[in-house]
Each structure stands twice: as structure tokens, then as C-alpha cells.
Amino acid sequence: MLRLGNILLWMAAAILLCQARPNVKLNSQSSSGLRSDCAANVMRLSLDKALAVGNQLEVEDINGTKHILLTPSMAAQCGYSMESDPWGNTRIYTSLMGCFVDNKDDATFNVGLRLQMYGENPSDVVSHDVSQTCSYTRWASREILCDRNYMEVSHHMANLDAEAKGQTRDGKDEKLNANLEASGASQGIWKMTFYTPEPVAMVLQEAEQAGYAAKTTSSRLVMRSP
């Protein structure tokens, strides 16, 4: 059984440790009042006030041939957030570890969004498709992302054969990876334990129904809480 008690303790401690995301611009593209850029472990999409003011905005994720409407609850569960400033400009943030991001070996991330803007007449709809590729390889062993509507923790999963290659692991990493190995986590997360403070075990589907998200990537374990 995979226990994520350590991850959840990190998330609780992260409330005191969260800082504003670093404003590291890696690359950007802009057109027609829209500008997208990569800022460390998020993709940021900015809408000029001329597009945002007076319109009802809906955001969809473009996942291959599927378009998935990002409701407030799904956005919090899957790593998306939105903010507006007093001047009417709007910014949408996507975690590179988000549910629908095309992740290539935890190094290259393809993000696709569709913006649907509705005017006073419901039939008056303007759509904008935005795609952005971000490169990010400077992952810390443990990363904490505090956003407006969710908190995300990702932890590096050390290679279980590291010792055979002469590498060492600290006590926490060794315990976590022992749990991963015993549970067969390389095949996906099956069950997790929440400490509230009493232990409450949930299978992945139950945790998702409660608003949490958890997954493994090629090298990281990711947990998100609204």
C-alpha cells in the first residue's frame, strides 16, 4: 500500500513556507491581446483588458482532440488558477504538473487552452486557442507550489537502483521509495493515507472524489489539494 503521509505533512508545513512564484521568464508568445510565457514551473497566459472586460470568460483545456471545460472545482484539483487586476487585465496560470499537460520526461511540457468569450448576446462567442511549450529541468527534490485555489507538492522519486550505481539516499527518501517499491507504485497510485491527525485510508478514486489529485510521472510523485 502506498502511503502519502509524508507528502501530506509537507503540504501542511508548506502553508508557512509558501512564497510567491519566481518570475523566471523562459520564453513567450503573443498575439491579439494574448500573451503566454513560461515562469519556472507554471505557464502564464495574460489577457489584455480589451479582451476580458465586458465578456464572460470560459476556459477549456485542449487535450488532444478533447476540450475539457475547467470549472472552479476542476481547476483547483488539476492545477489551474486565474486572477484579475484592478485595471481589468486577466492572468491564467497552469501548473506544469497539471492534469492535462502533455509531459515529456518531466523536462518539456505542452500546454493547450481554448478561451471562449461570450458577449451580451449568448450567440456572440469569440474563441482563442493558445498553445505554449515550456522547458523546465531545474526541479528541486521537493517542490511546493502555493496558488490561489490549490497547493501542490511534488517529490523526486529516486531511482530504486541508485545504490547499485554508488549513489546514496537520505532517510526520508529511502523510506518513501521503499513504500513505492513495495506497493508497485511504478504502475500507478492505488491507495493513500491521510493523517487528520488520525489515519484515513482512501483509494485513489475516493481521494479524487474528495477533490484531491495524485499521480506519478516519469520521475516525480505529485499531490494536489484544493
Whole-number pLDDT of residue 71: 96
Plot region of 81 (φ>0 → left; ψ -120 to 50 → alpha; else → beta): beta
Amino acid at 200: V
**Distance (Å, rounded) from C-alpha 185 to C-alpha 48?**
44
Whole-number pLDDT of residue 31: 56
Plot region of 68 (φ>0 → left; ψ -120 to 50 → alpha; else → beta): beta
Amino acid at 25: K
Q: Where are the alpha helices (DSSP H) in 162-220?
A: 171-183, 204-209
State the average pLDDT for the chain: 78
143: enclosing H helix or E strand: strand 142-146
Give the range with max mean pLDDT: 34-43, 48-57, 113-122, 180-189. Answer: 34-43
Give the pTM. Answer: 0.76
Q: Where are the alpha helices (DSSP H) in 21-146?
A: 49-52, 72-78
Q: Is the peptide bond before 197 cis (omega within 30 degrees of 0)?
A: yes
Q: How many residues does the chain have?
A: 226
Whole-number pLDDT of residue 52: 67
* Higher per-residue confidence, 184 vs 83: 83
3-state secondary structure of 109: strand
pLDDT tens-digit series, residues 117-171: 887 776 788 889 999 999 999 999 999 999 999 999 999 987 644 444 444 445 4
Domain ranges of the chain: 5-16+139-225, 22-135
CATH architecture of 22-135: Sandwich (2.60)
